[in-house]
Structure 1
């Protein structure tokens, strides 16, 4: 059992309103070019092992992808590296859009 939790859209909306929560998009460059959740940082899943040391283990971190599968892998990886406060967005950006939430241009 990996040490990450699932978060739903309502939980993400609440978390985004708080200071100090990190939102990471692990999709590919091509997927991100179609839009991302405002405030997210883009780290493609295949680069996460190289960038993991840039993420503060003491900061709550929410990962998302297209549907939630790749971000679950990201959460499992980060929790194996000692990050205890990691969350996987259930349903990914598809759930975000289904909820009528806006996308931002890639930063």
Structure 2
């Protein structure tokens, strides 16, 4: 797991042909705004979160974010424990995000 600044996270994401953007916030938070093309798996779903992660392709590179960066850091650690080699946490989360949102 790597904690990346918004600049590094965005540059690495844009250069990555094997990237998946993962939003680990609640559905209500996602409804307010989200980074385009992200998929949502709510970390607060407990074991359900783990089950959904296990359905993902472990060969992909995951760019993970939440509101402030704390939940996404936890999510990256869980992903590493499940065998995901490439999970990148967005420091500051969507609160500090200056890129496009939908």
Separation (CA, whole Å) in 1 of partners of 2:56 and 2:29: 22
Q: CA RMSD in A?
A: 1.3
What does residue 94 of structure 1 align with? Answer: 95
1:48 positional shift: 1.9
What does residue 27 of structure 1 align with? Answer: 25
Which residue of 25, 40, 43 maps to 2:41?
43
- After superposition, what is the alpha-carbon deviation per residue over 1:19-59, rounded to whole angstroms, capped at 9, x for unaligned? 22011000001100001001111111124212012211111
What does residue 10 of structure 1 align with? Answer: 7
Q: What TM-score do you get using the length of structure 1 for normalisation?
A: 0.84
- Given that 2:13 and 2:63 are in contact with CA atoms closer than 8 Å, whether structure 1 keeps it comes out as no
- Given that 1:15 and 1:21 are in contact with CA atoms closer than 8 Å, whether structure 2 keeps it comes out as no
1:11 positional shift: 1.9
